[in-house]
Amino acid sequence: MVRYIIPYIFLYLFYLPFRILPYRACLFYGRFLVRLLYPLAKKHRKIAYDNISHAFPEYSEEKKKELVWKSFLHIGDLLAGTLFAPRLSRKWMDKYLVYDAESLAIEQKTIQDGVGVVLISGHFGTWEILVQFMGIRMKGGGIYKKVRNPYVDRLIHKLRSKNGIKLVSTEESSQVTKMLKQGYWVGFGSDQNAGKVGIFVDFFNRKASTYQGPALMAYLTGAKMLLYSVLCGEKGKVMVRVKDLGFVDKSAFSDREAAIRHYTEVWTKALEEEVKLYPEQYFWVHRRWRTKPGDFPGQI
């Protein structure tokens, strides 16, 4: 068990300042850490540069490099938001959350309707803050992948569920359909590379293997699909943008596969449009396009 305890202690000590410092100080500290590590992150800087070059071929070299730098600075904000997020409260939300009128109206009406919601987000903005305020503002649920280290796993589970969100592990994903039918808002961060289990849809000028989970769950349960962008603003503000993607219209498609593909394309395109507005807040260092058409025979 020593091999698990030592990494856990290291992680906890890393987390400790974010548990103690005021919110704005956490943001400053997060960016400070990223500035220290940036010169060492050559591999990830290259990944970000390559991804940005494909996504924005019209950008000059100077603009691409500037976006790489800004996206890394944002990782500092993301780190701070992630580790501060378990401390969120209604008082904090009243001070820092900013909704535009349309987004707030969509959220309030959906809560009043009492329907289950497939809440779709991406590795964009400060997504762990979204996880936490889902537990406070609505009947929130989420899916998480267990960590091999049991101490780290318990810590992550405790932090993520701090504000009342109901978590189920990927091994218990059948519970998701029950939760959606019971009116839960279940979050899906589905813009990672899906490997051989995904379907290919267009995302920033390339085919990307994409998870079918959000569209499939909406199809099976009749849940509403909402796309959330939770973005870092000035002076620590967190901007919340909501796009109503509606319900699956089964009658418009010949079979389930066609419907799932269509709605997967819909939410992926909606996410792309959001990222174009705030490109410095996308997680360009992840290998979103690692799986390519032809890597796995039979993949659509």
Residue pLDDT, tens place only, 75-129: 999 999 999 999 999 999 999 999 999 999 999 999 999 999 999 999 999 998 9
Q: Using CA atoms in the order 235, 40, 148, 118, what is the torsion angle rounded to 10 degrees?
A: 40
Token look-up 């400053």 returns 28
* Of 257, 267, 254, residue with least CA distance to 223: 267
β partners of residue 226: 119, 244
Residue 161 reports pLDDT greater than 90: no
**Concatenated DSSP letters for 82-94?**
HHHGGG--HHHHH
The pLDDT tens digits of the residues spanning 270-299 come to: 999 999 999 999 999 999 999 999 999 888
Please, how many CA atoms are within 13 Å of residue 62, restricted to the half-sphere of its CB? 0
Token look-up 């396009």 returns 289
**Concatenated DSSP letters for 181-214?**
HTT-EEEEE--S--GGGSEEEEETTEEEEE--HH
Stronger pLDDT, 171 or 24, i.e. the higher one: 24
Q: What is the pLDDT of residue 170?
A: 79
Q: Provide the residue count of the chain.
A: 300
Distance (Å, whole) CA 193 – CA 191: 7
pTM: 0.94
Residue partners of 211: CB distance under 8 A and separation at least 6:
188, 190, 192, 194, 197, 198
